[in-house]
Structure 1
Amino acid sequence: MLRRYVEQLLNVYNYIDGIMVVDKDGYIEYFESFRPDVNKLKEKNILHKHVTEVYPGLTNETSSVMRVLRTGEPILNEYQTLMTYNGQSIRAINTTMPIKQNNEIIGAVDVSRYLDSPYRRQNITLKERKEIKTSHLYTLDDIITASKSMEIIKERIPMVANTDSSVLIYGETGTGKELVAQSIHTSSKRKNKRFVSQNCAAIPGNLLESILFGTTKGSYTGAENKAGLFEIANGGTLFLDEINSMEIGVQAKILKAIEEKQVCRLGGFDPIKIDVKIVSAANVQPLTCIETGQMREDLFYRLSVVQINIPPLRERLNDLVLLIDYFIENFNEVQGKDIKGVDEEVERIFQGYEWPGNVRELRNIIEGAFNVSASKFIQKKDLPEYLINPIVPKSTRENSYRETTPLLQKGQTLSEALNAYEKALIEDAIENSRTLVDAANQLGITKQSLHYKMGKYNLGK
Structure 2
Amino acid sequence: MEEKIKSELIEPLIHQTILDNIDLGIRVVDSEAKPIIYNKKMRSIESMTMEDFSKKKITDVFRFKNKLDSRLHQALHHGRSFHNEKQNYFNNKGEEITTINNIFPIKKRGKTIAAVEIAKDITQVEKLIRENIKRKSNTTYTFDNLIGDSPPFKEVIENAKRATRTSSSVLIVGETGTGKELFAQSIHSGSERAAGPFITQNCAALPESLIEGILFGTVKGAFTGAIERPGLFEEAEGGTLLLDEINSLPTSLQAKLLRAIQERKVTRIGETKERPINTRILATINEDPIDAIAEGRLRKDLYYRLSVVTLFIPPLRDRKDDTFPLVEAFLRKYNYLFQMNVSGITDGVRETFHSYHWPGNVRELEHVIEGAMNLIIEEEKISHSHLPPHFQNKMRFAHHSLKDENTLPFSLKNGNTMPQMLEEMEKSMIKHALQNNEYNIKRSAKKLGISRQSLQYKLEKFKINKQD
Other-structure match for 2:380:
376
Per-residue deviation, 1:376: 1.0
CA contact (8 A) 1:373 1:379 kept: no
Q: 1:391 to 1:369 in 2, by over 3 A?
A: closer
State the alpha-carbon separation in 1 of the partners of residues 173 and 387 from structure 2.
Answer: 30
Instruction: Answer yes or no: is 1:182 the counterpart of 2:185.
Output: yes
CA contact (8 A) 2:169 2:306 kept: yes
Other-structure match for 1:389:
393
CA contact (8 A) 2:160 2:311 kept: no
CA deviation digits over 1:319-346, x for unaligned, max 9? 0110000000011111111111111111
Other-structure match for 1:300:
303
Other-structure match for 2:195:
192
Aligned positions of 1:265-304 closer than 5 A: 265-304=268-307
CA contact (8 A) 2:175 2:287 kept: yes
Aligned positions of 1:198-217 closer than 5 A: 198-217=201-220
CA deviation digits over 1:64-84, x for unaligned, max 9? xxxxxxxxxxxxxxxxxxxxx
State the alpha-carbon separation in 1 of the partners of residues 251 and 205 from structure 2.
Answer: 13
Other-structure match for 1:93:
none
Give the partner amino acid of 1:228.
Answer: G
When normalised by structure 1's length, the TM-score is: 0.55
Other-structure match for 1:108:
none
Structure 2 SS opposite 1:251: helix
When normalised by structure 2's length, the TM-score is: 0.54
Deviates more, 1:222-231 or 1:199-208: 199-208
Q: 1:296 to 1:361 in 2, by over 3 A?
A: same
State the alpha-carbon separation in 2 of the partners of residues 135 and 199 from structure 1.
Answer: 17
Structure 1 SS opposite 2:242: strand
Aligned positions of 1:55-454 closer than 5 A: 136-374=139-377, 375-390=379-394
Q: 1:136 to 1:276 in 2, by over 3 A?
A: closer
Equivalenced residue count is: 262
Q: 1:135 to 1:237 in 2, by over 3 A?
A: closer
Structure 2 SS opposite 1:168: strand
CA contact (8 A) 1:280 1:303 kept: yes
Per-residue deviation, 1:162: 2.0
CA deviation digits over 1:387-413, x for unaligned, max 9? 110499xxxxxxxxxxxxxxxxxxxxx
State the alpha-carbon separation in 2 of the partners of residues 244 and 155 from structure 1.
Answer: 26
Per-residue deviation, 1:351: 0.7
Structure 2 SS opposite 1:169: strand
Structure 1 SS opposite 2:163: helix
CA deviation digits over 1:31-62, x for unaligned, max 9? xxxxxxxxxxxxxxxxxxxxxxxxxxxxxxxx
CA contact (8 A) 1:205 1:249 kept: no
Structure number with larger C-alpha Rg: 2
Structure 1 SS opposite 2:281: strand
Structure 2 SS opposite 1:371: helix
Higher relative contact order (CA 8 A, sep 6+): 1
Per-residue deviation, 1:238: 0.5
CA contact (8 A) 2:202 2:244 kept: yes
CA contact (8 A) 1:230 1:274 kept: yes
CA contact (8 A) 2:139 2:198 kept: no
Give the partner amino acid of 2:361.
Answer: N
State the alpha-carbon separation in 1 of the partners of residues 175 and 319 from structure 2.
Answer: 14
Q: 1:172 to 1:274 in 2, by over 3 A?
A: same
Other-structure match for 2:85:
none
State the alpha-carbon separation in 2 of the partners of residues 266 and 138 from structure 1.
Answer: 34
Gapped runs of 5+ residues in structure 1? 1-133, 393-441, 445-461
Per-residue deviation, 1:245: 1.1
Give the partner amino acid of 1:154.
Answer: I
Structure 1 SS opposite 2:297: coil
Per-residue deviation, 1:152: 1.2
Aligned-CA RMSD value: 1.9
Give the partner amino acid of 2:338.
Answer: Q
Q: 1:258 to 1:377 in 2, by over 3 A?
A: same
- Percent identity reads 45
CA contact (8 A) 1:157 1:187 kept: no
Give the helix-richer structure, 1 or 2: 2
State the alpha-carbon separation in 1 of the partners of residues 395 and 299 from structure 2.
Answer: 38
Structure 2 SS opposite 1:156: helix
